[in-house]
Amino acid sequence: MDATFFKLEHLIQPRHPNRALQLHRHFPHAPRGKDVYGGPPLDYDFYTTMSPSFQQIVKSEVAKAMLADSLTPAQLLRLFFHDCFVMGCDASLLLKSTVLNLAERDHPSNFTVDKFSVIDAIKAELEKACPGIVSCADIVGAAAVEAVEQAGGPHIDLAYGRRDGLDSFGQAAKTNLPGSTLQVEGLRENFANVGLNLTDMVVLSGGHTIGQARCSSFADRFAPAAKNPFPDTIFGQELNAYCVEGNRLGIDRRMTLDANSTTIFDNGYFQSIVAGRGILTTDNVLFTDNRTKSLVTTFAQDQTVFFDAFKELMAKMGRIGVLTGTQGQIRKQCWVRNPIDPATTPDANMEFAPASLEFCTPNPCPATCSSNTA
């Protein structure tokens, strides 16, 4: 291996694996009662009496997952983001494909989404403690905010009461998830589709502080006619060599999106962008577009301001398209919906076969199905 490989490779190694647990804090003054923001009637006390062990189970399972894999927080945060942006925060991302329907999780846009097993583990423990009470949609949100805190980020209070959706469509993931080569205007339009604004877009991008990307997702940065060459030219050249070497080995290598702290949730991502080391096109343009540059600068200079904005954003994103009351259902297992009576739910997509254990494999989905024993 050459020096370039070693110089970049160390950036994707976990740092301070125990720091997340040390930084976990207790907040006695959490909000109580109804969530007064937004339309859906969510409640901070939703599980206080119905499932009092809810938060502790989430905390315990996330901690165990992080001990096994320090990249867990990034994946749990991404699960929440990808779920909410497609059909709302209804756990539709967790549903597996059937022989008749390609679900969101099996669309190429979600091929690198991971840690479904953590959600399943939390659900299994909650079903032992209080069967049929906690929705998978609420578990996804709770796991994301808990993971952020255990990774060193802020404590985030979410209101609960979301219910699980009945449908999941692969094409919806392609339509609603933002691509890594978008310019600021494209990102603005994508976020506006779910009721979020330009500030929200910059704040959520800050979650990349614990994220990674495959070389293939930022290959456009190295094209001869690239519109967004790396401002830190030496870094760009070394990164290009790192990816090219991986290609020669048949490996689509990964690179951390925050060159300062790989597994700690902080404002290092914004500092990387200011330093000219934004990896994705969607990272770099945040500092080259005057509409977002000042926010990036502010967050790079003041972590507290970023943390406060991130807490607000997570609560706001968690209200996108939620189902409440008698809408949807509370799934018994997060990857398959409960049986549906077409007489009482005539609008449900009946191409799902919840009683069947036959599920399509992601590639190619229509041609091959395998028995799932999980």
Q: Are residues 240 and 162 in the same domain?
A: no
The confidence band for 347, taking pLDDT boundaries of 50, 70 and 90, is: low
Using CA atoms, how far apart are residues 267 and 327, in angstroms rounded to an integer? 38
Give the CATH number, domain containing residue 282: 1.10.420.10
Range of the domain at 253: 184-316
Determine what percent of the chain is predicted with pLDDT higher than 70.
Answer: 80
Helices (H) and strands (E) in the chain, counts: 14, 4
Q: Are residues 334 and 234 in the same domain?
A: no
**Type of residue found at 1:** M
The confidence band for 351, taking pLDDT boundaries of 50, 70 and 90, is: low
Q: How many residues does the chain have?
A: 374
Residues marked as catalytic: 82
The pLDDT assigned to 28 comes to 44
Compare 12 and 170 and report the one with higher pLDDT: 170
141, 196, 70, 285 alpha-carbon torsion, rounded to 10°:
170
14 is in an annotated binding site: no
For residue 367, what are the contacts with CB-CB under 8 A and spacing of at least 6? none
Confirm whether 1 is domain-assigned.
Answer: no
The pLDDT assigned to 344 comes to 67
Confirm whether 7 is domain-assigned.
Answer: no
For residue 331, CA distances in Å to 132, 166, 189, 278, 335 come to: 7, 9, 33, 40, 8
Closest C-alpha among 64, 74, 81 to residue 121: 64
86 is in an annotated binding site: yes
Q: Two tokens at 233?
A: 């030219």
Q: Are residues 230 and 268 in the same domain?
A: yes
Closest C-alpha among 125, 115, 119, 303 to residue 203: 303
- Rounded to two decimals, the pTM is 0.83
Confirm whether 371 is domain-assigned.
Answer: no
> Residue 215: pLDDT above 50?
yes
Q: Are residues 54 and 168 in the same domain?
A: yes
User: In which residue are the tokens 């449900």 written?
Assistant: 348
The pLDDT assigned to 8 comes to 44
pLDDT, tens digit, 9 for 90 and up, residues 92-150? 999 999 888 899 999 998 988 999 999 999 999 999 999 999 999 999 999 999 999 99
Q: Are residues 302 and 335 in the same domain?
A: no
Helices 281-288 & 290-301, crossing angle to 10 degrees?
100
Q: Are residues 237 and 264 in the same domain?
A: yes
Q: Are residues 115 and 193 in the same domain?
A: no
Cβ atoms of 82 and 211 closer than 8 Å: no
The pLDDT assigned to 374 comes to 31
Rounded mean pLDDT, 171-189: 93
Q: Are residues 195 and 242 in the same domain?
A: yes
Query: 255: part of which helix (H) or strand (E)?
Result: strand 254-256
Q: Are residues 53 and 31 in the same domain?
A: yes
Using CA atoms, how far apart are residues 20 and 5, in angstroms rounded to an integer? 28
Closest C-alpha among 82, 163, 177 to residue 338: 163
Q: Are residues 97 and 195 in the same domain?
A: no
Q: Are residues 152 and 255 in the same domain?
A: no
Q: Are residues 277 and 357 in the same domain?
A: no
244 is in an annotated binding site: no
104 is in an annotated binding site: yes
Our count of domains for the chain comes to 2
Give the CATH number, domain containing residue 343: 1.10.520.10
Q: Where are the alpha helices (DSSP H) in the chain?
A: 3-9, 19-23, 54-68, 72-85, 116-129, 136-150, 170-176, 184-192, 198-205, 233-248, 268-274, 281-288, 290-301, 303-317
Confirm whether 6 is domain-assigned.
Answer: no
